[in-house]
Amino acid sequence: MTKVTVVGAGMVGSSTAMRIGEQRLCEELALVDVVDGVAEAMALDIGQALPFAGSDTLIAGGTGYGHTAGSDVVVITAGLPRKPGQSRADLLEANGKIIAAVAGEVRDRSPQSVVIVVTNPLDEMTALAQRLTGFPPQRVMGMAGMLDTARFRAFIAWHTKTPPTRVEALTLGSHGDTMVPVPRLSTVNGRPLAEAMPAADIDALVERTRDGGAEIVRLLKRGSAWWAPSAAITEMVRAIVRDERRVLPVSAYCRGELGIDGGVYVGVPARLGRGGVLEIVDVGLSAAELDGLRAAAAEVSQRVADLDGILAGGNGGEVAAPLSAAAAVAPAGRPRDLALESKVRTAARQVLARSGQLDRLEEVVQRAMAQLP
């Protein structure tokens, strides 16, 4: 029996739950939201709609996590959007605390689950979720390239007046400036994209894709996108629970793959199956495309270092520390101070960077933390 949990019952979370139920991807579906009554209300509404889709999926909602125990997949959509006047550091800290609280519950109640992080800033929150659950990196991933790829594909289809099903597209990296479009591998009716439109038009569509989320926010004026994100999430859930072993663009942990060193989460082509990320796939990227992807990874690495600095600067141990991968399946022990671990990580990163050994970062940090009283 397959069980999926969605944390966060807002527009993205609730539409994701509805899609998962409609497509009968699990027998049990759990919704969680910190706001009293929201997850319960959405569970009732979705549960009453599912018979129309011929689905027998059972759904339950609540503010606690008791009903999520034993989940095979956990999708984390909970988090706050960036508000006017709010610094990026403020958003990192606010959503970092949310991810910390969720990760502890997931670690304790669903220790064998695969985790999909949707909360922004995506790469930092995915890295944090992996540390705090202590799960092997292949069982924690982020929803990044899937959404940008869908947007790029739609824009190409609309521009060329081609059915979207006849368009193939690919974007890697992460959202915004670190997105790495791959128009060379994009096609329209089987023809290379460069043969379907001028280079200037391709560049314009790339920029529109980078701005895709902000464009919707500007028009909507009361929130952000949810239909496309929930569709992207559902595709990832499908590939995992059905062990499809499909190659999809997701934020996955790289440690040497594609020349990306240092251990960092970034959007890459990855084969997804029952165990999460089964492998990172080289789809034949050019030298220039690989350079762009590595540059994006380096920027993400710096942003994660910024997160370490914020957490080390005064969270005062409010968040539980990560367990080792082995301990993730055992009862939780005494939590460590994440502020201390972040200080250790920052110092280790500086030393290892000078000697070109960033690939040993996780090993060094875990060894150092294990030696502390």
136 class by beta-carbon count within 10 Å (0-12 exposed, 13-18 middle, 19+ buried): middle
Q: Helices in 221-313 by DSSP H: which ranges?
A: 227-241, 287-312
φ and ψ at residue 56, rounded to 5 degrees: -100, 15
Q: How many CB atoms lie within 10 A of CB 314?
A: 9
The one-letter code for the residue type at 104 is: G
Token readout for 29 is 């579906």
In sequence order, the 6+-apart residues with CB closer than 8 A to the CB of 166 are: 157, 188, 189, 190
Best CA proximity match to 21, nearest among 229, 237, 274: 237
Alpha-carbon distances, residue 290 vs 57, 92, 293, 321 (angstroms): 42, 28, 5, 34
Stated as kind and residue range, the H or E segment containing 252 is strand 246-254
| Active site residue ranges | 175
Do 357 and 255 contact (CB within 8 A), yes or no?
no
The one-letter code for the residue type at 266 is: V
Provide Rg for the chain, Cα atoms. 20
